[in-house]
Copies of this chain bind each other. A is one copy, B any other.
Amino acid sequence: MPSGGLDEVDRELVRLLAIDGRMPNNALAEATGIAPSTCLTRVRALRERGVIRGFHADVDLGALGQPLQALIAIRIGAHSRDEIDRFRAKVPGLPGVLSLFHVSGANDYLLHVAASTPDALREFVLDHLTADPAVAHAETSLIFEHVRGAEPNLTGV
* A53 and B49 within 8 A (CB): no
A108 closest partner in B (C-beta): B144
Q: Which residues of B contact A64 (CB under 8 A)?
A: 3-4, 6, 11, 14, 51, 154
Secondary structure of the A side of the interface?
Answer: mixed
Query: How many positions in chain A have a CB within 8 Å of any CB in the partner chain?
Result: 71
The 8 A CB mask of A1-28 against B (1 = contact, 0 = none) is 1111010000100100111111000000
B149 to A99, Cβ gap below 8 A?
yes
Closest to A13 in B: B57
**Contact with A104, one of B65, B66, B91, B142 (Cβ below 8 angstroms):** B142
Residues of B with C-beta under 8 A to A114: 154-155
* Given A56-B56, A150-B92, CB of A61 within 8 Å of CB of B143: no
Query: Quick one: which of B92, B139, B156 contacts A147, CB cutoff 8 A?
Result: B92
**Interchain nearest-CB distance for A118 vs B (Å):** 12
